[in-house]
Amino acid sequence: MGKGPQYDRGMALPVNPQNQKQEHTGSYYAATAERTNYPELEGSRSADVCVVGAGFTGVATSLTLAERGYSVALVEANRVGWGATGRNGGQLINGVSGLEKIEKKLGEKVSDLIWDIRWRGHDIVYERVNKYGIQCDLKSGYVEVATKPRQVACIEEAAAELEQRRFPYGFEVWDREQTRDMLGTDAFHGGFLNQRDGHLHPLNLCIGEARAASQLGVQIFEQSPVTEIRHGARPTVVTARGSVEADSVVLAGNAYGQFKPKAMSNLVFPAGSYVIATEPLSDERAREINARDAAVCDLNEIVDYYRLSADKRLLYGGACNYSGRDPADIKSYILPRMLRIYPQLKDVRIDYQWGGMIGIVLNRIVAVGRVKGNVYYCMGYSGHGVSATHVMGEIMADAVTGTMERYDLFAGMKHFRIPGSQWFGNQIIALGMLYYRIKDRL
């Protein structure tokens, strides 16, 4: 097997923001992405809103505000898309984690609003890719696959819901034989194809949206870790060499809980997520394993997912690690999982291996709130963030400008916090996930 670039062990949940200032990890995305070179924040600045964190949530919030005519400063510790935004599986999947729990609590009166939120992120992504000419390899098509016979019922329920809602986009239910023909493997008992879902190059999407925001006047600063937030009628975001005073601040990411421990501590915990990328496959082999060029994800509690890149590499990820420790060798950790699905790829070279931390919320509801009235936060997508971050960015933009209906759905939900340190919290999560691993194998 080929040896991919070395994995850097930078986390998306650093303890000390002073120690950030890192470049992108050695991923396929970083190797094929546009480059950003926004200046470091120096001196005193002013804006209507200061957004901290230039991942999808921060960039989406900033771009939404700029489109509405607000002045925005966007401050990033490393590079645009540096964290989970730029390292993920690139699957554009409908929904926001925890929506079903919100609906269960609030009842049918919010069901239509929840449905709109579930798909709004897709609308934003498709619209922006077209409007701003963002080159991010966006393709339609996503397949959920059943690894066990009992999961076929989940596929049928998903199709029934879309039929009831008169879903305007194409979808298909595949039996085992169709799934084998479409995906070139005997590993699955059925599949559900949704043509509104899809996949893309996440880092190029984020960078493209940041470029659009910059063209609309957003001041973007990279390599500028935030060291302090000073509260007041106009709070101030402080870095080592500069500051931004604004009417409102949005903390858009998983890295800033240490600033507001009473409000934000122990809400989000890190989990490792890992991906490998093969060498480019021949057209024939690519068609064999993914005839519809769709993103694929299984229905297990601890999922595996994969898709083809624009240059026909198989990008295969999964085996989310809740222990707080990274595998010694990502390829050795993920490759056996890929070969269980596609043993015919045993001689294919692995060109890239990478990973990093994602933010997990215990109840899987995105953690949303505010501190002292004008400092807002939004974090913790539990591994389902490409679409969700975009609708949440719009919801955060609504909130800071006075429209609270969708924001209140999330802010009103209570979160369970594990007492004690984040380290102990992760051990408890790891024990809990052991239950789900056993459940997946039954």
* Location of structure tokens 């984020």: 206
Could you tell me the residue ranges of all domains in the chain? 17-88+203-269+363-432, 138-200+273-361
**pLDDT at 384 (0 to 100):** 83
Average of per-residue pLDDT values in the chain? 88
**Does residue 1 register a pLDDT over 60?**
no
Contact yes or no for 161/135 (Cβ under 8 A): no
51: β partners = 74, 250
pTM of the model: 0.90
pLDDT at residue 3, as a whole number: 34
What does the pLDDT read at residue 259?
55
Residue 372 has pLDDT above 50, yes or no: yes
CA dist 416 → 183, 268, 362, 425 (Å): 40, 10, 7, 11
The rounded percent of the chain whose pLDDT value lies above 90 is 75
Q: Residues 17-88+203-269+363-432: name the CATH superfamily.
A: FAD/NAD(P)-binding domain (3.50.50.60)
And the tokens for 181?
């023909």
Pairing of strands 242-252, 72-75: unpaired
- Least Cα distance to 307 among 419, 140, 429, 177 occurs for 140
Contact 4, 276 (CB under 8 A): yes
Q: What pLDDT digit, counting tens, does each position of 247-283 carry?
A: 999 999 875 555 555 555 667 777 788 999 999 999 9
* Superfamily of chain region 138-200+273-361: D-Amino Acid Oxidase, subunit A, domain 2 (3.30.9.10)
Q: How far apart are CA 333 and CA 321, in angstroms?
A: 10
